Structure formats: C-alpha cells, structure tokens
Amino acid sequence: MSEYIEQIRHVCSLGALQSVLAIDRAVPILHAGPGCGQKLWGAIGFQNGCQGSGYAGGHTVPCTNIGEKEVIFGGDERLRGIVHNSLNVLDADLFVILTGCTSDIVGDDVGEVARRFQEKGKPVVYAETGGFKGTNLFGHELVLDAIIDQYLQPAKSKQTGLVNIWSVVPFHDPFWVGTYKAIERLIAELGLTPNIIFGPGNGIDALNKVPQAEFNLLISPWVGLKNVQHLQEKFGTPYLHYPVLPIGPTETAKFLRTVGEYAGLEEKRIEKIIAKHEANYYYFIERSADVLLETRLLPRRFITIADSFYSLGIAKFLINDIGLLPETQYITDGVTEEQQAGIKAEFSSFVDGITANVVFTSDGGAVHEAIRETKFRSRPLILGSSWERVLSDQVNGYQLSVTMPASDRLVLDRTYVGYEGALRLVEDIYSIILADFQ
C-alpha cells in the first residue's frame, strides 16, 4: 500500500462518492477540496466506460470546496450550511456526507454536523473517507458501513427468500449496472427474491429492505466482506461469501449450486436451470468453435492486469472454459496482505491442476516493466485497462480494457457475468483479434 504508483488503477477513499451516486436518489455531499470531486468521478466515471454524471453526479455533487479559511478556522460551520442548503436545493432521499483529506486532517467534527440533521429526522449520514486512508474500494466499504450504522433500521420480520446482493464496486467496475442486473436475473431464476440497492430502479426502497433479508450474498474476492459481517452483527442476518465473480459456465454453475445449497433449494431445479443455460451457451460456442480453433491468430496465453474481481473471474473463465493458459496475473486493487492468501488459493485451483502466478501490486509501471521483460512464445492476450493499449503494442499482444480505467470503451448495459456475459467476453476478445489484421 505504501509504494509509489505509476498508472493509477484505483482512486482514493473519497472515490466512494460514486457508490452513493449508484443508489437511486442518494446524493453525496463532499466536505473536501474543490478539485476532489472532479478528479475522482473523472477517473472512475467518465474515463471508465464513459459513465457520466447521471441523476446528480458530476458538477451537481454538493461540495464545501474547502479553502484556506476552513483549514485555519475549521470547516464545521461551512459544512452545516452546505448540508442545510443541499436539503433544499436537491431532490433526493438520502444524503451522505463524505470527508476528504483536508477536513480529516484538520479534525472537523463531521459526525456532530450529521447528528444534528439526523436528530431533526433528516436522511443524512456521514463517513470519514479522507483520501489518505485507502482506496476507493476501501472507501466503498466505509460508506456501506456508515449507511448500515446510521440509516438502516431493524426489520420487524424477515422476508422468506429475500437475498441482499453485494458485489462489484459501482463505477469502479465499468460494467457494474449490467453485472448487478445479470446477478439479479440468476438469483431470481433460482426462485429467490434478489434485493440490490445499486442501479436503476432500486435505491431507497431496496435499502430499507436490507434488514429484512434472509441472508446476504457477497460475490466478491474481498470487497464488502466487512459489510456483510457488520450486517450479521447488527441484524443477525447470515451471509454467504462467494469469492469469485462468476463468468462462464463452469463458475456460474458452481455459483448457482453453492447459492442453491446454502438457501436449501431443490437440487433438481438448479440442475435444470444450469442445463438450460449451458445448452444456450454451447450452441454459440459450437458455432464459433471454427474461428476459436482454426484461425492462425489465436492467442494461447493471457495476462490479466485488473482488480481482483476481474482478474480472478476472467482467469477462471478463460482457463476452465476456453482452454487458454495463464501468464502472470496482476491484481491491482490494493488487496491487504491478510486477504491475499484466499485470493491466491483461488488462482491455484483451475482445471487439470493448472495454476497461475499471482502478483499483487498497484504500480502499473512496475507491471509493464515486468511484462516487457517476459518472453512470450505467442502473441499474448492482455486483459487490463486502457493503460495497456501502449504496452500491448510494445509486446505485440491483443488488448481489451476490462477494468478501471477503461477510457477507450463505452459501456452501457454490458456485463461479462454469467452465461450470456461470457458470450459477450468471447465476442469482445475475438472481435479484437479478427479486427487486428483486417
């Protein structure tokens, strides 16, 4: 974590402002410097799949634009004024105050400001997300914890079959909307009732239902584990932690079976669902097998330089389902040392005893240096970010941006998750290969 970073692939804790914006009709209020908001949404929003400002993002986000005066005299009063006026000016259901480096260092009592509004019954919560504290993925956890502690109320009763779904980090993952929708569809197919707070049409109603759930489902290598544990402590809701983003038939079937078993669903029903999806998936793979097998351009080996969600999810798919082999896999989302072992273990359990060398680093420059020194026996497939466009040229590879920053792509409802998602990934990869010489 303390290393220097060239080619950033995540931003700072305050980047969690985008997680607030991912909840319909929720608005972040930044108690931060004037440039923080613009820089952060620029990197994990606009320059990442062209995700724009949406309902209330971008330059709409209220911000104290903290200046020299507040650094010297403190910014509590300014913050109070901005929150008060935000409630009048913006039409929203939940306001989340997020602090930046400056207010955390000068020690503003933001909790006190938030509590005053809470006492008046206003939907205002706060999280101390000073940028020096960690990554935006860590900040995402801070924000969810703040909402759990300061907003959610215990449920009168549990709703049978209701499952809260926590997974990829909104905006940091350019495919988050499509991904949550795909997971929602899969869970619904099982006969459960998915509850997702992020994305269109969900928002506050979904948030209010969180304490009623029968269990929390976390699909993530590490992000969010803290939150589902917190929900268990607070509301007694058990959780299922599924550590791989399920891309492709092997992992998705495993995922459906795991969830089904945990929820006590009938096995026959799950197998029927899996069989139907596999038939559809393999119809297309059978058709494309000619090009997958017979083009002389086929890459045999791939590298991922991505956050742990996509590095692991894509590696599982390309190895277990498509028959490619892994070169070193680089994981860039600042995974703490204690969480690295579990992720590493997943990279040692592919089909046929295949394992992958894993490197955890946020320093893209060091990754590029290592890859430039690697001897490849065929053209490598590089699944990373737009930083890899140049690298790919240097090592004569094929490149697809799948992780932040994906500034070279427009992403709408695309996802790589599940069965259809895997088909999209195959389309995207092989379209690049075919377009390479034409």
Query: 40-65: string of b/e by CB count within 10 Å (b at 16+)?
Result: bbbbbbbbbbebeebebbeeebbbbb
Residue among 60 and 328 whose Cβ is closer to other proteins: 60
- In the set 109, 112, 132, 205, which binds other proteins (CB under 8 A)? 132
Whole-number Å distance between alpha carbons of 234 and 154: 8
Whole-number Å distance between alpha carbons of 183 and 305: 24
162: β partners? 193
CA distances from 260 to 149, 168, 252, 255 (A): 30, 21, 12, 8
15 near other proteins, judged by CB under 8 A: yes
Classified as helix, coil or strand, 301 is strand
Say if CB 317 and CB 425 are below 8 A apart. Answer: yes
Query: Residue 209: phi, psi to the nearest 5?
Result: -85, -10
Residue among 71 and 155 whose Cβ is closer to other proteins: 71
- In the set 20, 61, 245, 256, which binds other proteins (CB under 8 A)? 61
Q: Which stretch binds other proteins (CB under 8 A): 5-13, 141-149, 160-168, 208-216?
A: 5-13
- In the set 24, 94, 127, 134, which binds other proteins (CB under 8 A)? 134
Residue among 36 and 417 whose Cβ is closer to other proteins: 36
113 near other proteins, judged by CB under 8 A: no
Q: Which stretch binds other proteins (CB under 8 A): 84-92, 248-256, 374-382, 423-431?
A: 84-92
Token representation of residue 155 = 């449920």
Closest CA to 346 of 326, 321, 316: 316
Residues 403-422 that bind other proteins (CB under 8 A): 405, 407
52 near other proteins, judged by CB under 8 A: yes
Residues 204-233 that bind other proteins (CB under 8 A): none
Tell whether the torsion through CA atoms of 370, 374, 379 and 383 is positive or negative.
negative
Residues 85-104 that bind other proteins (CB under 8 A): 85-86, 88-92, 100-102
432 near other proteins, judged by CB under 8 A: no
Q: Which stretch binds other proteins (CB under 8 A): 165-173, 341-349, 388-396, 421-429?
A: 388-396
- In the set 2, 153, 157, 438, which binds other proteins (CB under 8 A)? 2
74 near other proteins, judged by CB under 8 A: no
Whole-number Å distance between alpha carbons of 393 and 341: 33
The letter for the amino acid at 245 is L
- In the set 20, 36, 244, 331, which binds other proteins (CB under 8 A)? 36
Say if CB 405 and CB 39 are below 8 A apart. Answer: no
We find the least distance from the C-beta atom of residue 102 to other proteins, in angstroms, to be 5
